Amino acid sequence: MTFDLNRKRVWVAGHRGMVGGATVRRLKSEGCEVITAGRETVDLKRQAEVEAFLRDARPDAIIMAAAKVGGILANDTRPAEFLYDNIMIEANIIAAAHDNDVQKFLFLGSSCIYPKFASQPISEDSLLTGPLEPTNEWYAIAKIAGIKLAQAYRKQYGRDYISAMPTNLYGPGDNFDLRSSHVMPAIIRKAHEAKIQGAKNITVWGTGQPRREFLHADDCADALVFLLKNYSGDEHVNVGSGEDITILELTQLVCDVVEFRGEIIHDLTKPDGTPRKLMDANKLRSMGWAPAIALRNGIEETYSWFKENSPEAQTV
């Protein structure tokens, strides 16, 4: 172990998001003190607020789950927000972490920041080897800058600042808003609404042929804590399930879980995005970590959560 969490103060930035929330839950069994701060306490886009917060909170470690995130359409139509917000958030937090002598810092990238046509499965060293996918290049540029910033503080100041690269995530607490969500919550919601309303079909975006890899947010949180404790290296580490399926197969699986038996229709005016982004997760596997939640079980759990907790499920 390179970093013992026992009795440490750990700030989970972005604790209200899906990954941040899962990380807070996962840290409860680590004997550390978890620090959180909502938007009303600190606006992460404002440098002075982040500096003041960290001076006061004095964490020993930070897991940076705070980010402006969204699905393919949100990325494509709100490029300024995805680039500006993410650059500001990560620059403010990393610099203030160094200034306040934070010992360990874990940054989160995303599989969508690899080149559009990276060879599959995508290994860590594919980063910056080719052009990006145009629908999310704004987010990608910001996240690549964050990985580089963590590396720069390691190189210049010897900081133990590391990065994880999670694949497409899903789970309880996800965003189910159809204009800004990722595909998994969108399909769960669409199938649920179609079933309740007795509709004959649901519409998915694009051809259904792109392949995506999915990992449950609780598995991701477990991997993040594992890396925080055990990894201290310059290169980011892929966090994935090791398996991918087509969007059509995913839709069929979700419809089966939801018990919606209608037809699947394709809206070809919407983009497909990257054809495939299966990550090579061997680096993390060889360190001794593996995911625990099978895709179907994870979808069942997420659907139950959606029905019980999401305001969208109550308004059908």
Q: Which residues belong to the active site?
A: 139
- Contact segment (CB under 6 A) with ligand GDP among 48-56, 152-160, 179-187, 296-304 equals 179-187
Pairwise CA distance, residues 165 & 159, whole Å: 19
Secondary structure (3-state) at 157: helix
206 lines the binding site for ligand GDP (CB under 6 A): yes
Please state, in angstroms and rounded to a whole number, the distance separating the CA atoms of residues 144 and 133: 13
Residue recorded with tokens 């792109």: 210
- Nearer to ligand GDP among residue 53 and residue 205 (C-beta): 205
Please tell me the distance from the alpha carbon of residue 265 to that of residue 27, in angstroms, as a whole number.
42
Binding part of the chain for ligand GDP, among 52-60, 118-126, 157-165, 267-275 by CB under 6 A, reads 267-275
Residue 272 binding ligand GDP, by CB under 6 A: yes
User: CB of 147: closest distance to ligand GDP in angstroms?
Assistant: 18
Residues near ligand GDP (CB under 6 A), total: 20
Residue 127: partners with Cβ closer than 8 Å, 6 or more residues away: 113, 114, 115, 144, 147, 236
Among the listed residues 186, 215, 220, 278, the single contact to ligand GDP using CB under 6 A: 186
Is there a contact between 316 and 266 (Cβ–Cβ < 8 Å)? no
Q: Which of 97/257 has CB closer to ligand GDP?
A: 257
Q: What is the CA radius of gyration of the chain?
A: 19
Residue span binding ligand GDP (CB under 6 A) among the ranges 12-20, 98-106, 177-185, 292-300:
177-185
CB atoms within 10 A of CB 67: 25
Site for ligand GDP (CB under 6 A): which residue of 11, 82, 176, 205?
A: 205
Residues 43-72 as x/- pattern, contact with ligand GDP by CB under 6 A? ----------------------------xx
Closer of 76 and 90 to ligand GDP (Cβ)? 76
Residues 6+ away with beta carbon under 8 Å from 97: 54, 62, 105, 159, 161
Among 66, 112, 150, 162, binds ligand GDP (CB under 6 A): 112
The Cα 62–Cα 284 span in angstroms is 20
SS3 264: strand
Kindly tell me which of 134 and 233 has the beta carbon lying closer to ligand GDP. Answer: 134
d(CA 13, CA 152) in angstroms, rounded, equals 21
Residue 185: name the closest of 258, 263, 80, 293 by CA.
258
User: With CB under 6 A as the contact rule, which of the stretches 32-40, 226-234, 270-278, 297-305 interacts with ligand GDP?
Assistant: 270-278
Which of 168, 175, 238, 302 touches ligand GDP by CB under 6 A?
168
Stretch that binds ligand GDP, among 34-42, 178-186, 223-231, 285-293 (CB under 6 A): 178-186
Closer CB to ligand GDP, 21 or 206, in the complex: 206
The yes or no reply on residue 276 touching ligand GDP (CB under 6 A) is no
Residues 6+ apart with CB under 8 A from 215: 166, 167, 168, 169, 170, 239, 240, 241, 291
For residues 153 and 170, which CB has a smaller minimum distance to ligand GDP in the complex? 170
Q: Which residue's CB atom is positioned nearest to ligand GDP?
A: 71
